[in-house]
């Protein structure tokens, strides 16, 4: 790291009035968070400026006194000066003042990963752990795959329906049965990021009158659909019901959505889906990356 004074840099908590200057430093799907800073106290945004120019952002969201780091960015011209470490330190201080007990992060490995992990190491974060395999592809590369027809041969009693048609009664059933009938982990909850859900190919699966699965997608960029939450009730997973649900969702993407790119992620510890990904998805994608997870307790 270059020996550089931080005295010329100004670190501060961002408010809605100044937020527009920092939107370019986070992902498009999260920029709306900067527009509600004054009305949503769960969102924390720390900015860096120099000579009145915005050059960096740390963005986090608090839930039940635990925070998720959404993005950490320093303009390339100002990197290798200790600003990333200082920015994350400032964020940690702000979260502690709000009585947060920890800060966690999930991130995709790329050319900046080495530098980011060095920052975490210096600030005593836990050793990062592999979390998911992330596939990125052009949706047209899936159009001729034979398994996309699986949804057409679902047994009697099963119904695939548009998730947007989910009733309030269904919603309450899913929430109440999280630890019982459905037994789904929080990471697969269908009710996260609802504001960015792609309604055209987000689907539910019923058996008779009960919701027993879902495939939730999100538009993460104008040209990209993320296949985010695929779940079916445990005893049905080996019967291919989840794959049929995914197939129908991809078919709708091909047929009705003007977004040429798709991305999906598979948990490292989901052995069956990892094998499915290796056999059925990996041969048709443009890139495969790893996501990692880490946290720091205060």
Q: Is the pLDDT of residue 3 over 50?
A: no
pLDDT at 38: 93
In this predicted model, what pLDDT tens digit does every residue of 225-250 receive, in sequence order? 999 999 999 888 888 899 999 999 99
- Work out the average pLDDT over 20-49: 95
Q: What is the DSSP string of 253-268?
A: HHHH----EEEEEEET
Judged on CB neighbours under 10 Å (0-12, 13-18, 19+), 283 is: exposed
pLDDT of residue 5: 61
Say which residue, 235 or 143, is predicted with more confidence: 143
Tell me the HSE value of 64 on the side-chain side, using a 13 A CA sphere.
Answer: 0
The first and second tokens of residue 73, run together, are 């960015």
Residue 176 structure tokens: 């109440």
The confidence score (pLDDT) of residue 2 equals 42
Please tell me the distance from the alpha carbon of residue 44 to that of residue 37, in angstroms, as a whole number.
7
Which residues neighbour 252 within 8 Å (Cβ) at sequence distance 6 or greater? Answer: 200, 201, 203
CB-based contacts of 200: which residues, under 8 Å, 6+ apart?
252, 253, 256, 257
> The whole model's pTM is what?
0.75
Question: Do 298 and 94 contact (CB within 8 A), yes or no?
Answer: no
What are the CA-CA distances from residue 4 to residues 9, 83, 110 (Å)? 11, 10, 26
Q: Alpha helix locations (H) across 20-59?
A: 31-34
Mean pLDDT of 87-92: 98
Whether residue 257 is predicted with pLDDT greater than 60 in this model: the reply is yes
Question: Quick one: pLDDT at residue 1?
Answer: 37
Mean pLDDT on 257-262? 97
């Amino acid at each position: 790291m270059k020996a550089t004074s931080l005295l010329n840099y100004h670190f501060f908590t961002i408010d809605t009035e100044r937020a527009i200057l920092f939107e370019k430093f986070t992902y498009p799907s999260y920029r709306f968070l900067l527009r509600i800073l004054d009305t949503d106290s769960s969102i924390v945004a720390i900015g860096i400026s120099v000579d009145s120019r915005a050059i960096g952002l740390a963005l986090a969201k608090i839930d039940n006194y635990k925070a998720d780091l959404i993005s950490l960015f320093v303009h390339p011209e100002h990197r290798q000066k200790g600003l990333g470490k200082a920015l994350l330190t400032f964020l940690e201080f702000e979260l502690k003042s709000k009585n947060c007990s920890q800060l966690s992060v999930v991130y995709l490995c790329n050319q900046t990963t080495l530098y980011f992990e060095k920052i975490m190491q210096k600030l005593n974060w836990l050793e990062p752990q592999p979390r998911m395999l992330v596939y990125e592809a052009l949706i047209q590369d899936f159009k001729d795959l034979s398994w996309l027809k699986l949804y057409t041969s679902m047994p009697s009693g099963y119904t695939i329906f548009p998730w947007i048609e989910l009733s309030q009664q269904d919603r309450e059933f899913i929430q109440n049965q999280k630890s019982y009938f459905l037994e789904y982990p929080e990471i697969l909850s269908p009710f996260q990021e609802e504001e960015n859900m792609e309604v055209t190919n987000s689907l539910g699966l019923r058996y008779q009158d009960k919701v027993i699965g879902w495939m939730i997608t999100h538009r993460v960029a104008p040209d990209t659909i993320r296949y985010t939450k695929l779940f079916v009730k445990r005893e049905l997973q080996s019967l291919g019901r989840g794959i049929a649900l995914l197939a129908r969702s991809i078919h709708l993407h091909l047929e009705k959505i003007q977004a040429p790119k798709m991305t999906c992620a598979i948990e490292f510890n989901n052995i069956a889906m990892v094998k499915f990904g290796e056999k059925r998805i990996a041969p048709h994608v443009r890139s495969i990356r790893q996501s990692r997870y880490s946290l720091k307790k205060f």
